[in-house]
Amino acid sequence: MADVNKKIGLSLGADLCWPLCYEDLMKSLDLAIPVGGDTVRFEVERVSIEPYDLRQHCSYDMVIDRLTHWYHTSREWIKKAVLMDDLYVLNNPWSLQSMEKQTSYCAMIQLGMPIPETWMVPPKSYDPTPDLRSTLHRYAKLFDIGSVGEDLGYPVIMKPYDGGGWRAVTRVEDEAALRRAYEASGKLVMHVQRAVHPSDAFVRVIGVGPQMRFVKYDVDAPLHDRYTLETDFLDADEEALLRESTMTVNSFFGWEYNSLEAMRSDGTWLPIDFANACPDSQVTSLHYHFPWLVKALLRWSVYCTATGRPMRRTLDWDAYYEIAKTDAPYREKLRGYAAIADERLETADFEEFCAKHLSHVDEVAWEYFGSEAAKTAVRQKVEALYPAGEVEEFTELFWGRIQTWRDGEGSAQ
């Protein structure tokens, strides 16, 4: 029996709060997990950005990646390490690089998900280049943006086909507003999507491996209030449907750390955005739900690292499409997709592992999220986002919501 040290890397951009809490919890837990006759211990390190030899060995067993969706140097380093060193990464970097909202809509439409009707429209303007000019002159078909809105029916949502973080998202109520939004879109390639209207609920489902968190979302509230504190707002059937939808998307694209947004209209949940493979993970928006996220990342990363779970480098979609081609009702198909996801994400093995080796995480986390170290992590993120005169107010707001979690949900775990 040997002591085996495994290293988890955190590839970070602007993240401050959750990495601090993740690191602190890992230190407090000081895990020593028996696996295959060995005792596995863990080290956490932040991944640096620097020149590297393509043959340089990667010292990490797993990387939680928050950077390669936009920083190419890190993206190429991670892809090299997956190819050459069997690095396990959240999320699959090739999928993250190539699968934008457009692709995710198309794939899930083909699987039968009730995605609102969506059009892609050419950009309003272009960078002037000789080749593009001749291409557009020969082949670009003149169109009337107003006719797109008329076909969809108002209200519609105009948003970039590859956007994120509510960038350039506009709710359009009539043709005049649609024309203004299109004129203002510049060089962005846009989707125009039928709005879910009327609607009576908006949910974000955060998925980390097979773990799901259902959050009621208030799109009209200020950013710090959009993730509401409401719980138990879904019935069992709705929760199952949203879980299965999220599991299907995440396993299909290799996104083990992703969120799905859906709105309910006339009793039907319609997924509207689920290409969020770098989901909002900050205490300044998640607050009450923030401890769940940190624990979920810890459990899944420890499980994958300790067990040597192999990363699925390629995306095998055939099993999903075989179900999609059947005449079964959509709900039955969705259960079939989710069964594939449960198998690929090893849900049963993961839950058994957590019960056996990580049952004390809830207790340690409950204590930690009442500590000065956790409050310092909250404050650091607030200081990075808010004016100096508002730091105290918002630190206390978010810290108070975490204490509400500790007093209720946290203490019951």
CATH code: domain of residue 161:
3.30.1490.20
Q: Do 15 and 84 belong together in one domain?
A: yes
Domain count, the chain: 2
Asked whether residue 249 is domain-assigned, the answer is: no
Confidence at residue 368, expressed as pLDDT on a 0 to 100 scale: 98
Q: Do 90 and 121 sit in the same domain of this protein?
A: no
Q: Is residue 40 part of a domain?
A: yes
**pLDDT attached to residue 370:** 98
Q: Does 156 fall in a domain?
A: yes
Residue 146 in any domain: the answer is: yes
Instruction: Tell me the pLDDT tens digit for each residue of 324-340.
Output: 999 999 999 999 999 99
Average pLDDT (123-144) is 90
For 147, the domain range is 117-194
Q: Tell me the two tokens of residue 5.
A: 């040290």
Whether residues 81 and 157 fall in one domain:
no
Residue with the two structure tokens 């895990």: 31
- Same domain, yes or no: 90 and 131: no
- Same-domain status, 13 and 78: yes
Q: Are 66 and 19 in contact (CB under 8 A)?
A: no
Q: State whether 70 and 141 are in the same domain.
A: no
pLDDT tens readout for residues 198-227: 999 999 999 999 999 999 999 999 999 999
- Residue 371 pLDDT grade (very low, low, confident, very high; cuts 50, 70, 90): very high
**pLDDT confidence tier of residue 167, bands split at 50, 70 and 90:** confident
The last residue of one of the domains, among 98, 132, 148, is 98
Q: Is the separation of the CB atoms in 42 and 305 below 8 Å?
A: yes
> CA 213, CA 86: separation in Å to the nearest integer?
29
Residue 364 C-beta-side C-alpha neighbours within 13 Å:
18
Q: Is there a domain that residue 245 lies in?
A: no
Mean local confidence (pLDDT), 360-368: 98
Q: Which long-range contacts (CB under 8 A, 24 or more apart) does 182-188 make?
A: 182/121, 182/124, 182/145, 182/158, 183/124, 185/123, 185/124, 185/158, 186/123, 186/124, 186/125, 187/123, 187/124, 187/125, 187/126, 187/127, 188/123, 188/160, 188/163
47: in domain: yes
Residue 91 and residue 48 in one domain: yes
Tell which of 164, 194, 224 closes a domain: 194
Question: Which residue among 156, 174, 194 closes a domain?
Answer: 194
347 lies in a domain? no
The CATH number covering residue 69 comes to 3.40.50
Is residue 305 assigned to a domain?
Answer: no
The predicted structure's pLDDT at residue 224 = 94
Q: Are residues 177 and 122 in the same domain?
A: yes
**Does 9 share its domain with 94?**
yes
| HEC sequence for 31-60 | CEEEECCEEEEEEEEECCCCCCCCCCCCCC
Q: Are 125 and 63 in the same domain?
A: no
Same domain, 126 and 188: yes
Say yes or no: 150 and 63 in one domain. no
Using 50, 70 and 90 to split pLDDT, how confident is the model at 1?
confident
